[in-house]
Amino acid sequence: TWTTAAFVEESIREIRARVGDKRVLLALSGGVDSSTLAFLLHRAIGDNLTCMFIDQGFMRKYEPERLVKLFRDQFHIPVEYVNARDRFLEKLVGVTDPEEKRRHIGHEFIRVFEEESRRLGPFDYLAQGTLYPDVIESADSNVDPKTGERVAVKIKSHHNVGGLPEDLQFKLIEPLRKLFKDEVRNLGRSIGLPEEIVRRHPFPGPGLAIRILGEVTAERLKILRDADYIVRQEINRHGIYHDFWQAFAVLLPIRSVGVMGDQRTYAYPIVLRFVSSEDGMTADWSRVDYDFIELISNRIVNEVAGVNRVVYDVTSKPPGTIEWE
């Protein structure tokens, strides 16, 4: 539409005026905000933009590869892919408490971010996908009293942790700060982002790590990733992805007895968590067709080694939360 095109042109002008020939760093997350931001910045400043994608190892099956490929092949925006899978997993050895788990992941994210931005830098600006509601929330925080510019002392990642060291404090550039989420979605759509990014279900920063209760191990990650992939496949195949606020699988760190053929099994249960919601603050468990649940259950138990039982979560929020950790 005209307004979208006008917004793009206006943003590009603004970014150029502000940044000049300085370098900008952007951390891609795979969501619509950072993806749209990457597109705008790349149009505005080209090679002076560096997009970094930190793979913690907790994303859904094929998502990291797809993201990098989409940017490289379709948008011709190079992505610095940082494979940090092993180091995140190491940090989680023996960690079972949910808050402690989030803290470890958040801190590791900051450490990787620091190392990589030093390696790729120096950068003058950090681009963030701050939206209008976030601007209001943090009204006059972190404003440099001399220049009036907002300064990044923390990375606004979905982790909500982590102070940056003194020598790594960037000026912020936030081209989406006047937009609401729906406007970003429209913008994303108009620049050719695939619908799977534009209307992606919310996905927590710590990703699958908080959908494995208790200790996160490589074995459990593989099991959950495969089960989750089946859930997503079937939901897409039935054309009901957008009927849910979120629809995902959770792995419980316990085992129960089952039988397969004439063999006794002793394996993990998978929980299906399908909810509807307006804003994530409250949620209702989704009344899904029984045959549909059965289909998913059969596929998971038959195709994912290590799982012998599937259960359906019938708890709304409150009193339950959407995620299990």
Residue positions in the annotated binding site for ATP? Answer: 29-35
Stretch in the footprint of ligand XMP (CB under 6 A) among 74-82, 85-93, 140-148, 200-208: 200-208
Q: Give the SS3 label for residue 169.
A: coil
Regarding 30 and contact with ligand XMP (CB under 6 A), the answer is no
Site for ligand XMP contains 31 (CB under 6 A): no
Q: How many helices (H) and strands (E) does the chain have?
A: 10, 11
Exposure of 208 by Cβ count < 10 A (0-12 exposed, 13-18 middle, 19+ buried)?
A: buried
What type of residue sits at position 98? P
For the CA atoms of 218, 219, 225, 231, the dihedral, rounded to the nearest 10 degrees, stands at -160
Is 199 among the residues that bind ligand XMP (CB under 6 A)?
no
Find residue 317's DSSP bridge partners: 283
Query: Dihedrals φ, ψ of 305, to 5°?
Result: -65, 135
Looking at the chain, how many residues does it have? Answer: 325
Of 121, 136, 103, the residue nearest 170 (C-alpha) = 121
Closest CA to 307 of 264, 272, 263, 258: 258
Shortest distance, CB of residue 217 to ligand XMP, whole angstroms? Answer: 20
192 is an interface residue for ligand XMP by CB under 6 A: no
Applying CB under 6 A, does 129 fall inside the site for ligand XMP?
no
Stretch that binds ligand XMP, among 17-25, 140-148, 198-206, 306-314 (CB under 6 A): 198-206
Residue 71 and residue 77 in contact, taking contact as beta carbons nearer than 8 Å: yes
Question: What mask of x and - would describe binding to ligand XMP in positions 303 to 322, judged by CB under 6 A?
Answer: --------------x---xx
Of 159 and 220, which has the nearer Cβ to ligand XMP? 159
Name the minimum Å distance from CB 95 to ligand XMP: 15
- Residue 94 in tokens: 């023996």
* 246-275 positions binding ligand XMP, by CB under 6 A: 246
202 touching ligand XMP, by CB under 6 A: yes
**Does residue 134 belong to the site contacting ligand XMP (CB under 6 A)?**
no
User: How far is the C-alpha of 144 from the C-alpha of 305, rounded, in Å?
Assistant: 55
Q: Is 156 in the site for ligand XMP (CB under 6 A)?
A: no
- Spatial neighbors of 44 by CB under 8 A, at least 6 apart, are 11, 12, 15, 16, 19
Shortest distance, position 237 Cβ to ligand XMP, whole Å: 23
Residues of span 231-250 touching ligand XMP by CB under 6 A: 246
Per-residue string for binding with ligand XMP, 279-298, x by CB under 6 A? Answer: -x------------------
Q: Which residues bind ligand XMP (CB under 6 A)?
A: 158, 202, 204-206, 246, 280, 317, 321-323
